[in-house]
Amino acid sequence: MPTKTLKIMVEGGNAKPGPPLGPTLSQMGLNVAEVVKKINEATASFKGMSVPVVLEIDTETKKYTINVGIPTTTALLLKEAKAEAPSGDPEHKKIGDITMEQVINVAVMKKPALTAKTLKAAVRSILGTARSIGLTVDGKDPKLVVKEVAEGKYDDILSKYEEKWNQS
């Protein structure tokens, strides 16, 4: 049973049958329209975000499975902030403000892709990305919030999400 693995990045719910996806699928003898439709259904909840998708294709039977990954941290933060794109100058141009709870939710969503062992470490990592794309957190520079997290100022709110973190 020879299988091929195809890794692609698509916009959630908006994969197109054109290049490079379409020609690659047709070379493998798959129904391009059907596969694209199923990818769009599987990624619909990530509308507007770049989502990694892995297709496992059995080249003999033409059966395939679609595995949807987790969008990038940047894409998740932009969605939370309702922003279109990262700031080209995050030091001077801010693109939005998010809450600490939104940061924690992104950390919990990204857990499988993070190397962080604790929720606190994951949150600090997400805050670094927030700073690099021009977001503030509760009106503050994420660099300051990282220090506050380390000092324990957010331990109460983090403890509410610990169980969710440990389950994922």
Per-residue pLDDT of the chain (168 residues), as tens digits, is: 588 899 999 888 999 998 888 898 888 888 999 999 999 999 988 887 888 999 999 988 989 999 998 888 998 999 999 988 888 888 888 999 999 999 999 999 899 888 999 999 999 999 999 999 999 999 999 999 999 999 999 999 999 988 888 886
CA 105, 114, 86: angle at the middle one, nearest 5? Answer: 65
Say if residue 135 is in the same domain as residue 97: yes
Domain of 11, in residue numbers: 3-68
Say if residue 85 is in the same domain as residue 161: yes
Say if residue 158 is in the same domain as residue 79: yes
In this structure, what is the dihedral angle of CA atoms 105, 134, 151, 121, given to the nearest 10 degrees? 50
Q: What's the CA gap between 123 and 120, in Å, rounded?
A: 5
Say if residue 113 is in the same domain as residue 162: yes
Domains identified in the chain, total number: 2
User: What is the residue type of 121?
Assistant: A
Q: Say what the pTM is.
A: 0.76
Say if residue 157 is in the same domain as residue 77: yes
